[in-house]
Amino acid sequence: MTLEETEILLIHNKKDAFERIRKLQITQRKKTHLRSVWKQKHSDPQQQHIDLLNEQIIQVKEEIERLQTKLQDLMKKVSRIDEENDENMLSEAMCCVCKNDAEGYDLPCKHDICYSCYENLLNDSQIICPVCQQEFKFEPYYDTSSSETEEEMETET
């Protein structure tokens, strides 16, 4: 090994040694700081009590935030339900097709439909609700008090 190579190796070793010393000093400072913090916390009962209260305050704040979020979600649900109820109340008085007065039929699915829309929806003795798409068999209403028979009604249509 030449003299130059030896000097370079010594310089690198010296740099490594200084770097290790610097890291050890930093580690030692951190340890000293942690020891002093630990001593302060554990030597003073009032400080311990304050720390405990601070932790409890943080937990209570987190619980309040969680409950506020839950309350907001519930309020949104209640608002949607109220809107649906309002729409249902309005739709009870209206035909679900033409939105006019629903003087006509109350379908088995509880949707109201006026006479003219009902007749338009009839298809091969079936009716399909325009709102929920449920199918129902058409069962015409015959007035049994009338003297006309079922056969006579069929021949009329």
pLDDT of 18-71, one tens digit each? 888 888 888 888 888 888 877 766 667 787 788 889 999 999 999 999 999 999
Alpha carbon distances (Å) from 21 to 11, 15, 33, 143: 15, 10, 18, 108
Distance, CA of 125 to chain centre? 43
**What ranges in 2-127 are assigned the alpha helix state H?**
3-43, 45-92, 115-121
What's the rounded Cα separation, in Å, for the pair 131 and 128? 9
Structure tokens at 26: 């930093």
The partner residues of 101 in beta bridges, in order of sequence, read: 94
CB 112 within 8 A of CB 104: yes
**Predicted structure pTM score:** 0.31
